[in-house]
Amino acid sequence: MGFKCGIVGLPNVGKSAIFNAMTQTVAAAEANYMFSTVEANVGEVAVPDARLDKLAAIAKSAQIVPTRITFVDIAGLVRGSSKGEGLGNRFLHSIRETDAIVHVLRCFEDEDIQHVDNRIDPVADIETVDLELIIADLESLERRIVPLEKRAHSGEKEAKEQLALMMKAVDLLRDFKPARQADLAPNEREAYRQLFLLTSKPVLYVCNVDEASAATGNHFSKAVEEKAAAEGAACVVVSAKLEEELAQLPPAERDEFLVGLGLKEPGLNRLIRAGYELLGLITFFTAGPKEARAWTVAKGARAPQAARVIHSDFEHGFIRAETIAYDDYVAGNGEAGAKNAGKFRLEGKEYVVQDGDVMHFRFNV
């Protein structure tokens, strides 16, 4: 379905290291200098979900197919990027093509790795990036508003409505606040999204800490968590260095390695899931002897929309969706047990898919 999270941040904060570990590749060049990532690198990663393994075991599935999400490693931003400094124009264009922003922040000290501002202050780094994006958005809107004002003053209804919507963003941006803070009516949200503003995208803060702080965080990450909480944003603590080491280990050794560090799972698992949730996505499943598979839909999707994810014919000829909640499927040890317990449901076109639903679609070609 093409959902993309763009990994952004100042130079030398660990963006490429996290991207490499996440995709278990060395596709993104790493170096202790600015702009080591010259082109946006793209990687698809599986979304970790223990429910899928459980369903596969119950259904005795021959294959397990997780749902996936795309991450884009974007060239580093510097102060002045909104004016074209460094790789500014390319940076901003790459962000515009993503659905959400994963903002990596340096939360570790290392004299051997240069910081662009010669200090470690992740909250200030957030403000630097936000300011560049705010300036870029404001300049974009102010250019579009000029011809729109003329049409609105002439009495054109559509222009008046669009101008009023744009001004909601402009007022925030002029106050140095991101456009995502706008108070929107439900019927305004899609039109607002179509403004393609950089600061309207949801943001996940990723605190890149030293290995010793991977389980507990540190004072740098605590400051970011406080800012994220104040904004209503999400925040994840990850050690890029540790995750790279972990990615190189054989699967059999990873659990022991994590236990030794006081971790239940890789930090990247939490990052990937948080990115998935950031995009407002949920998972439904199909399960049978051939395969157990996870599928992605947006929250609020109805049954025919979920059917379309599997195949467009499923939506066009949709009849009904045979549905079992995940917990009911597990409790009944499969479809037969769920049916016997009265937990098997036939849902129609208006059914809103719930996270974890195990579904089978009936349709006419």
State the DSSP string of 224-250.
Answer: HHHHHHHHT-EEEEE-HHHHHHHHHS-
Lowest model confidence (mean pLDDT) among 13-27, 260-274, 331-345: 13-27
**Confidence check: pLDDT of 321 > 90:** yes
State yes or no: pLDDT of 85 exceeds 70. Answer: no
User: Can you tell me the mean pLDDT for 58-78?
Assistant: 86
Rounded to an integer, the average pLDDT of 294-305 is 95
Query: Per the structure block, which two tokens stand in for 268?
Result: 């990247």
Whether the predicted pLDDT of 101 surpasses 80: yes
Cα separation, 188 vs 165, in Å, equals 8
Tell me how far apart the alpha carbons of residues 240 and 212 are, in angstroms, rounded to a whole number.
12
Per mean pLDDT, which range of 251-255, 302-306, 336-340 is the poorest?
251-255
- Provide the mean pLDDT of the chain: 87
Length of the chain: 365
176 Ramachandran zone, left/alpha/beta (phi>0; psi -120 to 50): left
pLDDT value, residue 11? 83
- pLDDT bracket for residue 39 (50, 70, 90): low
Average pLDDT over residues 314-341: 96
Residues 6+ apart with CB under 8 A from 272: 22, 45, 46, 47, 48, 69
Question: If DSSP codes are grouped into helix, strand and coil, which group holds residue 5?
Answer: strand
What confidence tier does 77 reach under pLDDT thresholds 50, 70, 90? low
β-pair partners for 100: 5
Cα 306 to the center of its chain, rounded Å: 20
As to burial, measured by CB atoms within 10 angstroms (0-12 exposed, 13-18 middle, 19+ buried), residue 298 is middle
Confidence of residue 166 (pLDDT cuts 50, 70, 90): very high
pLDDT at residue 36 is higher than 50: no
Dist. CA 138–CA 120, nearest whole Å: 28
Weakest mean pLDDT among 142-151, 204-213, 282-291, 333-342: 142-151
Q: Identify the pLDDT of residue 341.
A: 96
Q: How far apart are CA 223 and CA 207, in angstroms?
A: 10
Higher per-residue confidence, 251 vs 148: 148
Mean pLDDT of 343-348: 96
Give the pair of three-digit tokens for residue 292.
């157990």
Strands 281-287 and 234-238: unpaired
Helical H runs in 205-334? 219-231, 240-248, 251-260, 267-278, 303-310, 312-316, 326-331
Q: What three-state secondary structure class fits 293?
A: strand
Q: Is the pLDDT of residue 87 over 80?
A: no
Q: Which token pair is 272?
A: 């990937």
Between 324 and 271, residue with greater pLDDT? 324
Q: Is residue 343 within 8 Å of residue 362, measured between CB atoms?
A: no
Res. 326 pLDDT band, cuts 50 70 90: very high
If we measure between CA atoms, which residue out of 134, 116, 112, 105 comes closest to residue 35? 116
**Closest alpha carbon to 307 in 326, 328, 327, 322:** 322
Q: Is the pLDDT higher at 100 or at 39?
A: 100
HSE (CB half, 13 Å, CA atoms) of 32?
A: 6
Supply the pLDDT for residue 65: 94
Tell me: pLDDT of 8 over 80: yes
Please give the pLDDT value at position 49: 92
Output the pTM of the full model. Answer: 0.83
Residue 156 CB burial class (10 angstroms; 0-12, 13-18, ≥19): middle
Please say if the pLDDT value at position 10 is more than 60. Answer: yes
| DSSP 8-state code for residue 11 | T
Sheet with 100-107, strands from edge to edge, namely: 41-46, 68-73, 4-8, 100-107, 203-209, 234-238
Q: How would you class 132 by CB atoms within 10 Å of its CB: exposed for 0-12, middle for 13-18, buried for 19 or more?
A: buried
SS3 content of the chain, % helix, strand, coil (to 5): 45, 20, 35
Average pLDDT over residues 66-89: 67
- Quick one: average pLDDT of 56-71? 93
Residue type, 356: G
Between CA 39 and CA 282 the distance in angstroms is 30
Q: Which domains are present in the chain?
A: 4-49+63-117+201-278 (3.40.50.300), 133-198 (1.10.150.300), 300-363 (3.10.20.30)
Q: In the predicted model, is pLDDT for residue 125 greater than 90?
A: yes
Task: Look at residue 292 and give its three-state secondary structure.
Answer: strand
